[in-house]
Amino acid sequence: MPEWLNDAGPPGDMLESLMRLGLAALAGAVIGIERERPHRHVGLRTNMLVALAACLFTLLAFQIAISMGDDEAGIQADPVRVIEAVTAGVAFIAAGAIIRAGKDIHGVTTAAALWLSGAVGVAFGAGAFGIGGGAVLLALIVLTVLVSLERHVLGSKAPPARDDDGG
């Protein structure tokens, strides 16, 4: 495995932080490109921004935790709370991508892709490049390969040009 895919932990300097932000944005782009097909309103830029923001929040959480350290009162900064906040924020945005039209529900997979973009951003922000990169690769398999399986083998009623992927 290449050295840059190993988990690296908190960022050491500004250049490393910028690299993590760039990788998170790139990972969000890879996920978002598939969502750019016709009739999908949440795609490349949105997934990039979600991954970038999640990465930034994670980097900031590390910076705050490192700068605060343990104080005399025993108060500690908890970066995990930032991850919880990122998850809640992305869930709020993703909920806006889900549309109900009569008995049909559209955009669930797009919402899940946004949620994943947030998680990948957190992974890159935390320096977990292997986990983040692996998640992006699995997402590509799910979003491109499995959609063919769903349509041809399972007989899904979703036509290729609509965001009627429900799952």
Residue-wise pLDDT tens digits, 67-79: 776 556 666 667 7
Does residue 158 belong to any structural domain of this protein? no
Per-residue confidence band for 4, with pLDDT thresholds at 50, 70 and 90 = very low
pLDDT for 95-106, tens place per residue? Answer: 888 887 888 888
Q: What is the mean pLDDT of residues 48-74?
A: 82
Does residue 95 belong to any structural domain of this protein? yes
Range of the domain at 27: 3-69+76-152
Does residue 34 belong to any structural domain of this protein? yes
Does residue 37 belong to any structural domain of this protein? yes
Does residue 136 belong to any structural domain of this protein? yes
Q: Which has the closest alpha carbon to 124: 1, 22, 14, 2?
A: 22
Per-residue confidence band for 115, with pLDDT thresholds at 50, 70 and 90 = very high
Does residue 46 belong to any structural domain of this protein? yes
The domain tally of the chain equals: 1
Q: What is the mean pLDDT of residues 7-29?
A: 86
Q: Please give the residue that has the higher pLDDT: either 159 or 153.
A: 153
Residue 164: partners with Cβ closer than 8 Å, 6 or more residues away: 104, 106, 157, 158
pLDDT at 114: 94
Does residue 166 belong to any structural domain of this protein? no
pLDDT for 141-152, tens place per residue? Answer: 998 888 788 888
Q: How far apart are CA 88 and CA 151, in angstroms?
A: 32
pLDDT at 5: 38
Q: Please give the residue that has the higher pLDDT: either 71 or 134.
A: 134
Q: Is the pTM of this model over 0.75?
A: yes
Per-residue confidence band for 16, with pLDDT thresholds at 50, 70 and 90 = very high
- For 128, phi then psi, to 5°, come to -90, 70
- Residue 89 predicted with pLDDT over 80: yes
Exposed, middle or buried, 128 (CB in 10 Å: 0-12/13-18/19+)?
buried
Does residue 164 belong to any structural domain of this protein? no
Q: Provide, rounded to the nearest whole percent, the portion of the chain with pLDDT above 70.
A: 78
Tell me if 122 sits within 8 A of 83, measured CB to CB: yes
7 beta partners: 128
pLDDT for 19-52, tens place per residue? Answer: 999 999 999 999 999 888 766 677 899 999 999 9
Within 10 angstroms of residue 81's Cβ, the number of other Cβ atoms is 10
